[in-house]
Structure 1
Amino acid sequence: MIDDPLLVLEAGAAPAPDRAVATLDAPQWPGVADPDALRAQLLDWFSQYDNAGTRRTYAYALGLPIAWVDSLGGSDGPPARDGRATPPAAPRGPLHALAWFRWCATRDLDPRRATSAHVKAWLHALSAAGAARRTRQRMLATLSALYGHLAETGAVTANPAAIDRRRLGLVISTREPSPTIRLTAGQVGALLDASASLPHGPAPALRTLYATRARAVVALLTLGLRISELTGLDRDDLIRTGGDQVLRVHGKGGVRREVYVTDLARQALSDYLAERDRVGATATPARRGTPRADTTPLVATRDGNRCSRVDLYRLLRRVAAAAGPELADVADHIHPHALRHAYVTIALEQDARIQHVRADVGHASITTTEHYDRGMRTRDTTAADLVAAAIAAARQAPPPA
């Protein structure tokens, strides 16, 4: 047995030179007699997903090396989305060791021999570690999709993740409010204002670049984009069609959609790309109103590489912290999905047709969009103040004679 039973699942690890090394080509996998066959079965499932971001998300959630699914896009570098590199994986989180395949490895359990009892024990371990119900629900759904494929191809006899979710408390009603904070239009406006004046370090020559990038990121998130969609965009995804400027977004599940660019987002993006071209001395003549089209990332690091989700998450947190009193009470809870959530709730508050909102944000089911609508609670839609007023009135009334 190798020194670290999980090393086989840690691609890119740099072990000490005096210890045994389990690389991607090594035969060891705790509890698995035929690791090459298991890897092939897993890659067969991953290959069904066209979106490289989806493959990476599933691999990370299951505890598999990102390099395995990257290989589906070619051996050199990250997987390609129509030839495009994807951002790096997110860093390790508190549930890293409890991802399914790592959990199995620590028990010398071949995942293909897992039973529903193993899956339930894993879910209970996640719960004990503080995993939120939605996190457990999402991880179980991923696991069920994987085992459904393995059952169809004969790699396993049954799907051990096809269990009663209601008894496990993993069924979430559309009537249940979303845990994401609900930002008002005024708070989103405060984020935009703060992004333009965010301090950006000691390099004067780059301050305008960083300021315009910060504003462009916030403005693009006001379009209801997922963070993975934003990081995956290239400059040639910004096109003009039917007289309108749109972003061709490569969405969840490999579904592409067109997102209309508002004047606010268009100006912020135009300012950023113009400054980026000026600093990089790469500007070339472009059609009026359309940035230079190429295969570079739409939002990039100083060196021109693709920004990661973590990069933009941290940037947004910095913007929120600088936004002043308007966001003082919620700055620590701001994340990219909060702006996507805001797009839906603000649109529904403005009486937008729910079918249009669903198409804007790429929800697979209108039930998902309805969840945002039913989750909206305001003082105008609660009886709490009426009850309090009745209690106050009763306390002031004279006692009966």
Structure 2
Amino acid sequence: THVTSWLHALDAAGAQKRTRARMLSTVSAFYGHLLDDGVVAGNPAALNRRRLGLSGGSRDPSPTVRLTAAQVAALLDSAARLPHPTRHRELYARRAVAVVALLALGLRVSEVAGLDRDDLVVSGGERLLRVPGKGGVRREVYPTGHAADALTAYLAERDRTSGTAAPARRGRGAAPSSPLLATRDGGRCSRFALYTLLRRVAELGGPELDDVADRVHPHALRHAYVTIALENGAPIQHVAADVGHATVATTQHYDRGLRTRGSSAADVVADAIGGSPGPADGDPGSTPPVAPD
């Protein structure tokens, strides 16, 4: 009764259906944890969403802003020019470009924050990221074009600034991995920090982003990857595999053993966005330090 009253109060306060559904899921997950630990006898938030009018359908319009390829390119350019009043301005700008580029590959913000440097490997002659997704399932994502350039530039500047390069992984004697995206002291960037950084980049994005800057968030870039890929003719099963959509689990299962650059939509999206990020410019033949497969 209390949970239902709370949901009605949220509705009266103007909370959208998706917001109420997400908040209910959070409370239900918390009570599920308490139930597993024997703290409570039941889960009062385990309610029938359909009866509450909170079950989303496939025809429901997405509230996520739809970014164009030009707007994603504007975000990359804005990240490259991001002002930072410290002597490490170059490092922070390159990291900002790397963050936007990784999100523009369709990765979830939690996946970007959770990536280790050892997740960037070479396999089949191609650089790829082994991304730990939902349910502990890893998928292979190809950092092509702007993303590859951004990672190359960021990791090189990070190694130069710290004075040490992370050793390549070789068998069991490898040193502990470090975050792919790190704070100045080498810690892991939080999801909130990445979200805040992206909003700052969007706010400074110029005329191309003026109308959408306040609605840009990490999932908007993931959404953009899917829409840009499909608009440019990428096979939907390749796109689903790129972003790790669970709704095509069967297709993903059959594609996993056949993953090549040709079965990824990464090149399609990179070509649509076009250009290279500013501070990542440099030797076109350079490659980021990676761990061999």
Taking structure 1 as the reference length, the TM-score comes to 0.56
Letter in 2 for 1:180: T
Distance 1:337 1:276, change over 3 A: same
Alignment pair present for 1:172 and 2:56: yes
**Aligned mates of 2:38, 2:165 — CA distance in 1:** 55
Counterpart of 1:260 in structure 2 is 142
Larger Rg computed on CA atoms: 1
What percent identity do the matched residue pairs reach?
67
The alpha carbon displacement at 1:293 in A equals 8.1
The alpha carbon displacement at 1:230 in A equals 0.5
Counterpart of 2:114 in structure 1 is 232
Counterpart of 2:17 in structure 1 is 133
Higher relative contact order by CA 8 Å / sep ≥ 6: 1 or 2?
Answer: 2
Q: Which stretches in structure 1 are left out of the alignment for 5+ residues?
A: 1-116, 368-401
Distance 1:161 1:238, change over 3 A: same
Letter in 2 for 1:329: D
CA contact 1:235–1:294 (8 Å) conserved in 2: no
* Secondary structure of the structure 2 residue equivalent to 1:122: helix
Letter in 1 for 2:25: A
CA contact 1:227–1:337 (8 Å) conserved in 2: yes
CA contact 2:167–2:175 (8 Å) conserved in 1: no
Distance 1:283 1:124, change over 3 A: same
> Which sits farther off after the overlay, 163-172 or 153-162?
153-162
Alignment pair present for 1:276 and 2:158: yes
Counterpart of 1:336 in structure 2 is 218
Taking structure 2 as the reference length, the TM-score comes to 0.75
**Aligned mates of 2:184, 2:29 — CA distance in 1:** 39
Q: How does 1:22-41 map to 2 (within 5 A)?
A: none
The correspondence for 1:324, drawn from 171, 194, 206, is 206
Q: How does 1:1-400 map to 2 (within 5 A)?
A: 117-144=1-28, 160-201=44-85, 203=86, 205-283=87-165, 295-366=177-248
* Secondary structure of the structure 2 residue equivalent to 1:166: helix
The alpha carbon displacement at 1:154 in A equals 8.3
Distance 1:302 1:148, change over 3 A: closer
The alpha carbon displacement at 1:252 in A equals 2.0
Distance 1:293 1:208, change over 3 A: farther
> Which sits farther off after the overlay, 141-150 or 277-286?
141-150
* Secondary structure of the structure 2 residue equivalent to 1:167: helix
The alpha carbon displacement at 1:145 in A equals 5.5
* Secondary structure of the structure 2 residue equivalent to 1:277: helix
**Runs of at least 4 residues off by over 4 Å:** 142-159, 284-287
Q: Which stretches in structure 2 are left out of the alignment for 5+ residues?
A: 250-293
The alpha carbon displacement at 1:129 in A equals 4.6
* Secondary structure of the structure 1 residue equivalent to 2:159: helix
The alpha carbon displacement at 1:284 in A equals 6.1
Count of residue pairs brought into register by the alignment? 245
Letter in 2 for 1:168: L
The alpha carbon displacement at 1:225 in A equals 0.6
* Secondary structure of the structure 2 residue equivalent to 1:365: helix
CA contact 1:234–1:294 (8 Å) conserved in 2: no
Distance 1:193 1:294, change over 3 A: farther
